[in-house]
Structures are given as C-alpha cells and as structure tokens.
Amino acid sequence: MKTLRNQKNSQLLNRKKQDPEKFIFTGTQPSGAVDIQLFRYNREQCIESKNLQPAQIERFEGNGFHYWLNVYGISDPAPIVSVCKKQGIHNLVIQDILDVNQRPKFQVFENFCFLTIKSTVPSNSDLMIEQISFVFGKNFLLSFQEKKADYFEHLRYRLRESKGILRERGSDYLLYTLLEAILDNYFKTLQQIDNEVEKLNFVDVKTDLSPLALEQIEQNKKSVLFIKKAILPIKEFTLIAEREENEYIEKRHLKYFLEIQDLCLTLLDNCDIILSTLESKTNLFFSVQGHRMNQVMKTLTIVATVFIPLTFIAGVYGMNFAHMPELQWKYGYAAVWLIMLLILAGMILYLRRKKWF
C-alpha cells in the first residue's frame, strides 16, 4: 500500500455564497456520470430500475413498499439536488453530501435521519477513500456514493432473489447491512496493512535499511489513523441509537446496530494493535541502524588502535636526524619489522581477550 489518497488537495467549501441554493462539490476529480439505481420492494416482490434520470424519480410514499435509491457519482451537484429536493431533504444535508471534506456525522431531522461516513476501497497500490452518505426514513433509504463500487452487490442479490429477511424489514435494517459491508472493507484494508507490516523485517542483517522502509511505516501509520478516525463516528452513531429512541430505527433491529458497535470496537482494537506494531517497527529500525553504526565505529576503532603504535614506530624512524644508530645497523630494518609484527599480534590478542571482535 503506497499512499493514502485523501482530499488534501480538495477545494474548500465557500460558505459566503450569494445564492443559498447554489451547491458545490468539493472534490478534485470528477467521479463520472451520475448513475441512479432504485429498488422498490416488499415481502412479495422487488422491482429494480437502473440508469434512472432525476426527473423519473417521484417522492417515496407509504404504499406498502420500501425504497432504496442508490446514487453513484456526486461530482455533478444538479442531479443530486434534484433527487434530494423531491424527497424533502434539507439544504444543509444536500451540501454535506457534496462536501467530501465533511467530517463523518449523524443527524436527526423531522422526516429523516442523515449519516455520512468514509469508506475504504482495498487496493494493492493506493488506499482509496470515498465518502458515502445515507438519508433514511420510515420506508426509504437514499445512499450517495462518491465513486462507483460493487461492495453492495450481495445486498442487491438478496433483494432480487429474496434471500434472507432483507425484503421483510425496513430501511433501518437495510442501513445495518450497508454499514456491515462498509466495515467489512475496513477489515480487509487493515488485514492488507497488517500483512505489509509483517513483511518488514529489520532483524535480518542482510535487510537493507533503506529510508523507504521508514517512509512505508509512516504511510501505514497515516492509513491506520485515518481508518480509526473514520470508524469512531460509526460507533458514536450506534451509541446514539442505543441510548436514544429513534422513530426510524425499530427496537427489534437495535440488536443489529449493537453488532455494528461490536464490529467497530474490534476494528479499533485492530487499529491499536497495528499502530503498536508499527511503533515497535520504527523503534527497531532505529535500534538496528544504531547497532550497525556502532559495529562500524567499533571496527574503525579496532583498526585505529592497532595501527597507532605501528604509526608511532614508523614515524620515529622516518625522522631525518643524522645520528640515529639503528639506521646504520645491518639488521635494523628486519628488527623494526619484527617489533611491529609482535606489537600487532599482541594488540590483536589483547582485543580478542576483551571480546571486542
């Protein structure tokens, strides 16, 4: 996982708008054409409509059906505004849907609830982040995905084939299944990061302690911290659902949101474990680097210590004084070499006994 692709370069939302009905998408890259899909379902039947235009969508009424409207792509504000206006969605919520810099949050309004969160898309290269927003009421749920992804496909299959109890339950249960799928992506992303962390082995002396390894550790830290920050609001939402009565969340479904809460706690524990491992890897990196530097310094010290007396002898007999009797001695050269070799051997034996090497 190379980098965490986020919204650092996103444009800031201009809140000094002259026209309050003008809505702005704060992302930097277009997310493609808007693709709208609608499921109209109950226990007996499920009607799926694809590639809808905003003009084809009517206000969802209580006629014995539940509605799930999923919108791919939010870079073009006009269709998003049109869809939301028909369902009576407040202007503040519309702007929050379009603001990818928006902090994940949960709000209760008169006729609906609003939840916006961040989701990861597991990848072998960059950690892709997208914003997903949910608006849900008694019989409808609107989901707005920043990018087109297929991690809700298993839920579409359940609706089409009437698998499980999804078609028998309301929008709050559908929200639970969507959140469960998003958390599953977090688990996969953390597992991928954990696998990369396990590959970092600084104990092996043959391992190249490249600064790129330290850079990878820091990037993984940023990714895990981002995930941890994104999970906390989901946990807060489940705590609110548990603590306060909400007319859009049935009491019989509360146990499912408590399961989401448990998944969030597990993810947070996994984040803490990975962060602790990354911190240990960082300390190990510098410890191994320091140890190798000490080994180099020890080797240089040994070489310098051994050659200091030899250099002294060579320096003495390298002086150009006229009266040096050893210079005229027939065996002077051989004697100096013998003395130097004996000193060298003695120094090596002494350092070996001291266990310097």
Tokens, residue 60: 């969802």
Tokens, residue 252: 């019989």
Nearest residue to 137 (alpha-carbon basis) of 66, 74, 235 = 66
Burial of 232 (0-12, 13-18, 19+ CB in 10 A): middle
Q: Does residue 69 contact residue 86 with C-beta atoms inside 8 Å?
A: no
Contacts of 62 (CB under 8 A, 6+ apart): 138, 139
Tell me what pLDDT residue 292 has: 80
What end-to-end distance do the CA atoms of the chain give, in Å?
41
Distance CA 175, CA 178 (A): 5
User: DSSP assignment, residue 121?
Assistant: E
Tokens, residue 88: 């009576």
Q: Does residue 282 contact residue 202 with C-beta atoms inside 8 Å?
A: no
pLDDT in tens, the chain (357 residues): 444 554 455 566 656 554 566 888 887 766 667 889 999 999 999 999 998 998 889 888 777 899 999 998 888 889 999 999 999 999 999 999 998 888 888 888 888 999 999 888 766 666 778 889 999 988 899 999 988 777 889 999 999 998 989 999 989 999 999 999 999 999 999 998 888 888 877 665 455 566 777 888 888 898 899 899 889 888 888 888 888 778 888 888 999 999 999 999 999 999 999 999 999 888 888 887 787 888 888 888 888 888 888 888 888 877 877 777 777 788 888 888 898 899 888 888 888 887 777
Q: Supply angle C-alpha 252, 258, 261, rounded to 5.
A: 155
Q: Supply angle C-alpha 21, 24, 30, rounded to 5.
A: 140
Q: Does residue 11 contact residue 26 with C-beta atoms inside 8 Å?
A: yes
Tokens, residue 204: 């092996």
Distances (CA, A) of 29 to 76, 81, 165, 265: 11, 19, 38, 33
Tokens, residue 10: 């996103």
Tell me what pLDDT residue 305 has: 84
pTM > 0.85: yes or no: no
Tell me what pLDDT residue 1 has: 47
Nearest residue to 68 (alpha-carbon basis) of 146, 148, 147, 160 = 160
Contacts of 36 (CB under 8 A, 6+ apart): 51, 52, 53, 54, 57, 69, 70, 71, 72, 79, 83
Q: Does residue 23 contact residue 75 with C-beta atoms inside 8 Å?
A: no
Q: Quick one: fold of 291-353?
A: Methane Monooxygenase Hydroxylase; Chain G, domain 1 (1.20.58)
Distance CA 268, CA 276 (A): 12
Query: Residue ranges of the alpha helices (H) in the chain?
Result: 77-86, 91-98, 153-161, 171-199, 211-243, 254-316, 325-328, 332-353
Amino acid at 229: K
Tell me what pLDDT residue 31 has: 60
Amino acid at 83: V
CATH number belonging to domain 4-289? 3.30.460.20
Helix (H) or strand (E) holding 71: strand 66-72
Tell me what pLDDT residue 133 has: 93
Domain ranges for the chain: 4-289, 291-353
Tell me what pLDDT residue 15 has: 60
